[in-house]
A and B are shown apart, each in its own frame.
Chain A
């Protein structure tokens, strides 16, 4: 398995419900980022959470980070049809003198009206 695995692969919910997506990783990270992608288009950055942070909020989004379990979760509350998209987590790690961003395969979220 690879660094940055999202779970579940696909999620289908009704409008108004909450959606939770999880991301697990293997190595120590500098930060973890969540992105959204609509219909094979460019990605939109949602939230960046640093390794020394445990929780961050942005509007209807809540991200938690548990470095002891090497996992993060993205919660979307009161979902809307417009939230239908693929959600990716990306972990930034140190690679020698450089840094590297490693991506998961994403969670496909469908919000049904």
Chain B
């Protein structure tokens, strides 16, 4: 069974540009989570999607947005990129409440 996949692996952008990160959950998982892992700050929760709807949102500005498609894959969009957006962005999927989250390998975003 394929795990959570993310693309691209690496992404290099310049300040002010927009970035789109993609995630495909494990087959059958309906929940997708996005996290930002910046150096020294640990994992920060970004967004949670379930059944196509945004269920919860972390303390991030509105330029961080996303969506979940009918096939449960998800996109994370970051507009007006800033240098401090440079981080590893991790996507996870899960089945139902209380189940463990399965993580993808992440997308490393570098903003120059």
Give me the interface of B with A, judged by CB distance under 8 Å.
Answer: 4, 33, 35, 37, 40-45, 48, 55-56, 88, 90, 92, 97-106, 108
Contacts and interface: CB of A to CB of B under 8 A. Distances in A.
Contacts of B37: 40
24 contacts: A40-B106, A40-B108, A41-B105, A41-B106, A42-B90, A42-B104, A42-B105, A43-B43, A45-B100, A45-B103, A48-B98, A48-B99, A48-B100, A50-B98, A90-B43, A95-B56, A98-B56, A99-B56, A100-B45, A101-B33, A101-B101, A103-B35, A103-B44, A105-B42
B42 A88 contact: yes
Contacts of A106: 42
Give the interface residue-count category, chain A. 20 to 34
B56 A31 contact: no
